[in-house]
Amino acid sequence: MEWIQQLVNGISLGSIYALIALGYTMVYGIIKLINFAHGDVFMLGAFIGFFAIARWEMNVFLALILAMILCAIIGVIIERVAYKRLRNATRIAALITAIGVSLLIEYTVIFFRGASPSAYPTVFETSNFEILGVKISTQSILILSVSIFLMILLQFIVHKTKIGKAMRAVSHDADAAKLMGINVDNTISATFAIGSALAGAAGVIFGIYYTRIDPLMGVLPGIKAFIAAVLGGIGIIPGAMVGGLVLGVVETIVSALGYSLWRDAAAFVILILILIIRPSGIFGKNAREKV
């Protein structure tokens, strides 16, 4: 029974990683930029949700939607201000800018509210129910269903809508897409908007589930989500979902085996191994880069 319980724990953690990883992977897939500020958008989402629920007394779902909308706007602003003019610059310049944006967001938040943590308000009474001796809280069910719903919605957007089609085209070949009359700038903005909205949602979910939020909370989950994205194959949406879930479960198993102090190390070992053994990730095809 203990193992089923551990699996439940791992999936709950993994679904949050997966939500953040989706944004990473989408942005990378389209403009080949590792957006290190993504973890901080996640943090901003958590704080927007916190203020919406605790100060403005909003309903959880409204708070979630508000956080997603505001994070989408923030994501677009970040792209327009910091990344757009670097689109033709070297990859390393864009990467360093991303780190700079990340630090800017973190310390701006610390400047305005200090670095001490806040506790998320209790949004619904947690009731536990047992299946075969496994305790599952209504919270984790709700969180899991919201995560899965958002992932399905994303798949729908990418595969069934016009903007999704444009995103796939830009990802494949931006110049050719431009020739075919696709507005590349708007498509990239839409990608940032969708990715950041998902990060914002993950922030709110994280706050509800783990209670504690602080301005530097995005750093580690951000890196973990990046690992999840690489694990699944960076640029591939189902890969990010699977990568996130796998990472969550692996971390839980490492703790369950009694090596709780090694769980963060385990994530990085996975990153190193995947880069050595299969750099294109679980779902990646071994495509050669054009010369």
Q: Where along the sequence are the contacts to other proteins (CB under 8 A)?
A: 2, 5-6, 9-10, 12-13, 114-119, 122, 126, 128, 135, 137, 206, 210-212, 217, 220, 251-253, 255-256, 258, 260-261, 264
Rounded to a whole number of angstroms, the minimum distance from the CB of residue 229 to other proteins is 20
d(CA 23, CA 51): 23
- Closer CB to other proteins, residue 69 or residue 210? 210
Q: Which residue in 96, 64, 87, 26 sits closest to 236, CA to CA?
A: 26
- Closer CB to other proteins, residue 53 or residue 154? 53
- Closer CB to other proteins, residue 55 or residue 288? 55
Rounded to a whole number of angstroms, the minimum distance from the CB of residue 228 to other proteins is 15
d(CA 34, CA 229): 10
Q: Output the CA torsion sign for 194, 46, 136, 249.
A: positive
Rounded to a whole number of angstroms, the minimum distance from the CB of residue 78 to other proteins is 25
- Closer CB to other proteins, residue 193 or residue 202? 202
- Closer CB to other proteins, residue 73 or residue 256? 256
Rounded to a whole number of angstroms, the minimum distance from the CB of residue 103 to other proteins is 16
- The gap between the terminal CA atoms of the chain, to the nearest Å, is 54
3-state secondary structure of 11: helix
Q: Which two tokens stand for residue 238?
A: 């189902």
Rounded to a whole number of angstroms, the minimum distance from the CB of residue 262 to other proteins is 10
Contacts of 256 (CB under 8 A, 6+ apart): 2, 3, 6
DSSP tag of 261: G
Rounded to a whole number of angstroms, the minimum distance from the CB of residue 234 to other proteins is 24
- Closer CB to other proteins, residue 35 or residue 118? 118
Total residues belonging to the chain:
291
3-state secondary structure of 134: strand
